[in-house]
Amino acid sequence: MTYLNAFLCGGLLCAVGQILIDRTQLTPARILTGYVVAGVLLQAVGLYQPLVDWGGAGATVPLTGFGYCLAKGVAKAVAEKGLLGALTGGLTAAAGGIAAAVVFGVLAALIFRPGDKR
């Protein structure tokens, strides 16, 4: 059942993104940014944690999960360090994901050569 919940949750998030791409004039960059902000806002009002509990990786892997991770890290750091935690908590919590994105981006740039295919 865990796999089915993750599939349904992640699939629903992806389907909403695809509908936004197909039916609106929003650019993919704006949709992606909106997903991160939605994850932060939903975590701030306490609605994203129940989704994570139900959907597991289907809720934490998409971009809304990145926003959730940032908000959760900030909340934890503010509780431990005070106002300074608002500046450091999000990056500390998401450091692994950010580092992986940079490393894999560099590897992809080294392996594949961009260019005009004319």
Predicted local distance difference test score (pLDDT) of residue 97: 87
Contact 98, 76 (CB under 8 A): no
Tell me the CA distances in angstroms from 93 to 4, 42, 75, 96, one per residue in order: 27, 17, 10, 8
How many CA atoms lie within 13 Å of 31's alpha carbon, on the beta-carbon side? 17
Q: Write out pLDDT tens, residues 69-104.
A: 999 999 999 999 999 889 999 989 999 989 999 999
Q: What integer best gives the mean pLDDT of the chain?
A: 92
Predicted local distance difference test score (pLDDT) of residue 7: 96
Mean pLDDT confidence for 56-77 = 92
Helix 63-81 vs helix 28-44: crossing angle, to nearest 10? 40
Predicted local distance difference test score (pLDDT) of residue 118: 67
Predicted local distance difference test score (pLDDT) of residue 116: 65
Predicted local distance difference test score (pLDDT) of residue 114: 74
Band (59; pLDDT cuts 50, 70, 90): very high
> Residue 46 — left, alpha, or beta (φ > 0 → left; ψ -120 to 50 → alpha)?
left
CA–CA separation, 47 vs 91, rounded Å?
22
SS3 call for 117: coil
Percentage of the chain with pLDDT > 90?
Answer: 82
